[in-house]
Each structure stands twice: as structure tokens, then as C-alpha cells.
């Protein structure tokens, strides 16, 4: 199939490499600044030219699939502009990759007869040069028109990924979960490194982080949980809270996650109902006092 990519950034680059590895052809990419550093990197990694808006029309008209890998706020604006230009033909597939937005974000091209799809990989793409290998074992959520969903399922399976259908109204909560599992872990590591007082806190904490993820992978929830809350050790938790008194961000993170930790410990049956209530009351009072 023939593709055009609008937004030659990290996702655009990774998907271009992944799609061309399946034998598809990416005709051109569009960036607002075709000679920006990101566009130059896209061209050198993919061999696909990045072109300006004035040269785009014939490529979009020739493409079977238009891939919008622009920031979330630009998805609908871009779809609207393409619809207004009259470049989208009946049966063109238009795809965006913003996890919090459903295929309805592409509503402007519906009246042009385009098929719409949101295809969101549950993966963080910092090094797009890895291409299709980034998607091995990765879940992709899909919502949109049936024929477009079927196409995407084939690509995802060829990359070794796992396609999942999702209801459009699930997307905001689903995407909040993705942010918690990825961005929040990075933020948590930053807070922990700072609190540790160690010269290279992050480096020292990394084996612990890897161990926790490994436990989640091998043992799952709730078995993976260890630590003072899981042991019902209220005095150690009180000592932690005292140590964090002068760091409001760390204190609120600790207390909010403490409530969730107590829930996991309770579901593991390592806390009695009374112990669970004591922890909940303690953490709630810390959060309420902030
Ligand atoms: N990276 C990830 O880990 C990841 C994971 C899952 C989903 N996503 C989704 O993938 C999409 C792209 O994210 P990304 O991380 O690849 O972003 P990115 O690396 O910042 O790339 C965004 C691209 O869009 C272009 N662009 C920026 N602002 C624009 C605008 N207002 N109008 C049109 N084009 C614009 C940029 O090029 P110019 O500035 O030259 O136009 C750039 O090529 C987003 O919807 C994001 O939610 C990303």
C-alpha cells in the first residue's frame, strides 16, 4: 500500500520504518519546517523525502493511507485542513496515533468518504530508529471503521504486536492508565532519587525498579507487592512520613501511592481489614493536611 506521513517526528519515523519493513511504500512525509532537525533525522533514517505543504497534494491523492502522527491538538485541525483542500478520495484510510482521542477526531474527512482509525501503541518511542522492533509484543488499541481496523490488525500482527479493539469512550481513562504506567514511573523515579540522598540516586535505585517490574512480569498482581505496607509495618511507614515532612511533593506522592499500596496488600490478604483501615486513615489524614 502507499502511505503519506504527516508529522515526521518520533512516531512518524518509527511507523515509517515499520511499514516499509512490511514492503509498504511511504511516498513522502510532511513537516511544517521541512529542513528542521527532526525532519532531517526522519529523512536520513527512512530515506523518505520531507516536503512542504505546497508540494503535498499529488502525494496525498496517490496515497491509500494518510498517517497523522502530529501532536494530539493538531489531529482534528489537520484532518479538517485536508478535507477542505479536497485531496482526500473515497476509500482513503486516515489514521492518527493519539491514545486519548478516538477515530471521531478525524470526523472532518468522513464526509469525503475516508475510513477513519485511531491506532495507538502502548509503547514509549524515544528512539524511533528501532522501527518495527519497538512493536514486538506491544498492545495496540484500535477504534474506527471496520475495514481500517482489519488493515491495521494485519500490520500489527506482522510486527509481532497484539491488536485490541477499544470503545471510543474508554480512550481517556485508557490513556490515563498509559500515562501512569509510563510517565508517572519516570516522575516517581525522579522523586525517589531526590529523596534517597544518594550521590547518584537513580543509578542506585535502578536495580530495585527493574526488580519490581520483573516481579510484576513473573508473579503478577497482587503477588508482586513487597515492602512495609504489605508487611503491615505501621511504625516504619510513620518513620517514612516523618522523614518526608519537609518535601511536600514526595509526601503527597508517598501518601497517595500508600493508599493504593494498602489496597493491593489487602487484595493479597497480607493485611487484615483493621490494618487496611489504619493505613487508609493515616494516608488520608496526611493528604487532607496538605
Ligand atoms: N512518542 C511516543 O512515545 C508516542 C507513543 C504513543 C503515541 N504517540 C502519539 O503520536 C503522535 C506524535 O507524537 P510524537 O511523540 O511522534 O511527537 P513528535 O516527535 O513531537 O513529532 C510530532 C510531529 O508533528 C509535527 N508537528 C508539530 N506540531 C504540529 C502542528 N501544530 N501541526 C502539524 N504538525 C505538527 C512536527 O514537525 P514540524 O514541527 O516540523 O511540523 C513533528 O514532526 C501524538 O499524537 C502522540 O500522542 C506518541
pLDDT at 270: 97
Task: Over range 254-271, report the average pLDDT.
Answer: 98
For residues 96 and 68, the answer to whether their CB atoms sit within 8 Å is: yes
pLDDT digits (tens, 9 = 90+) for 166-218: 999 999 999 999 999 999 999 999 999 999 999 999 999 999 999 999 999 99
pLDDT digits (tens, 9 = 90+) for 142-165: 999 999 999 999 999 999 999 999
| C-alpha distances in Å from residue 287, one per residue of 111, 162, 284 | 50, 39, 5
pLDDT digits (tens, 9 = 90+) for 1-33: 999 999 999 999 999 999 999 999 999 999 999
Task: Over range 100-114, report the average pLDDT.
Answer: 96
Number of residues that make up the chain? 290
Comparing 4-8, 48-52, 123-127, the range with the smallest average pLDDT is 123-127
> Would you kindly state where each structural domain of the chain is located, as residue ranges?
2-170, 181-288
CA–CA separation, 236 vs 227, rounded Å?
Answer: 10
| Cβ 36 under 6 angstroms from ligand 1 | yes
pLDDT at 34: 86
Long-range contacts of 46-52 (CB under 8 A, 24+ apart): 46/13, 46/16, 46/17, 46/20, 48/5, 48/16, 50/8
| Cβ 183 under 6 angstroms from ligand 1 | no
pLDDT higher than 90, residue 85: yes
The rounded Å distance from CA 229 to ligand 1 centre is 40
Q: Which residues contact 107 (CB under 8 A, 6 or more apart)?
A: 76, 79, 116
pLDDT at 289: 86
Q: Which residue in the block uniquely carries the three cell numbers 506482522?
A: 158
CA–CA separation, 9 vs 69, rounded Å?
Answer: 7
pLDDT at 290: 81
Helical H segments across 22-63, by residue range: 37-46, 57-62
Average pLDDT of the chain, as a whole number: 97
Task: Over range 69-88, report the average pLDDT.
Answer: 97
Find out if CATH 3.40.50.300 is the number for domain 2-170.
Answer: no
| Cβ 52 under 6 angstroms from ligand 1 | no
Task: Over range 28-55, report the average pLDDT.
Answer: 95
**pTM to 2 decimal places:** 0.92
The rounded Å distance from CA 210 to ligand 1 centre is 29
pLDDT at 130: 96
Amino acid at each position: 500500500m502507499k502511505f503519506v506521513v504527516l508529522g515526521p517526528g518520533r512516531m512518524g519515523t518509527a511507523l515509517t520504518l515499520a511499514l516499509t519493513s512490511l514492503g509498504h511504500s511511504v511516498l513522502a512525509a510532511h513537516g511544517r519546517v521541512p529542513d528542521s532537525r527532526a525532519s532531517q533525522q526522519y529523512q536520513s533514517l527512512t530515506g523518505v523525502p520531507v516536503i512542504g505543504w505546497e508540494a503535498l497534494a499529488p502525494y496525498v491523492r496517490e496515497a491509500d493511507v494518510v498517517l497523522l502522527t502530529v501532536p494530539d491538538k493538531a489531529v482534528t485541525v489537520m484532518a479538517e485542513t485536508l478535507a477542505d483542500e479536497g485531496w482526500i478520495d473515497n476509500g482513503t484510510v486516515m489514521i492518527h496515533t493519539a491514545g486519548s482521542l478516538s477515530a471521531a477526531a478525524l470526523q472532518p474527512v468522513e464526509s469525503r468518504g475516508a475510513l477513519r482509525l485511531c491506532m495507538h501503541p502502548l509503547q514509549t518511542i524515544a528512539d524511533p530508529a528501532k522501527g518495527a522492533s519497538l512493536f514486538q509484543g506491544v498492545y495496540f488499541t484500535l477504534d474506527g471503521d471496520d475495514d481500517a481496523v482489519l488493515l491495521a490488525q494485519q500490520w500489527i500482527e506482522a510486527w509481532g504486536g497484539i491488536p485490541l479493539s477499544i470503545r471510543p469512550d474508554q480512550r481517556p481513562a485508557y490513556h490515563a492508565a498509559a500515562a501512569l504506567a509510563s510517565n508517572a514511573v519516570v516522575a516517581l523515579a525522579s522523586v525517589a532519587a531526590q529523596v534517597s540522598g544518594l550521590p547518584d540516586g537513580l543509578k542506585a535505585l535502578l536495580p530495585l525498579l527493574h526488580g519490581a517490574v520483573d516481579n510484576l512480569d513473573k508473579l503478577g498482581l497482587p503477588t508482586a507487592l513487597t515492602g512495609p505496607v504489605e508487611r503491615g509495618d505501621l511504625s516504619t511507614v510513620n518513620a517514612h512520613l516523618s522523614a518526608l515532612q519537609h518535601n511536600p511533593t514526595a509526601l503527597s506522592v508517598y501518601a497517595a501511592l500508600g493508599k493504593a499500596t494498602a489496597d493491593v496488600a489487602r487484595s493479597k490478604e497480607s493485611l487484615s481489614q483493621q490494618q487496611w483501615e489504619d493505613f487508609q486513615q493515616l494516608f488520608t489524614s496526611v493528604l487532607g493536611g496538605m
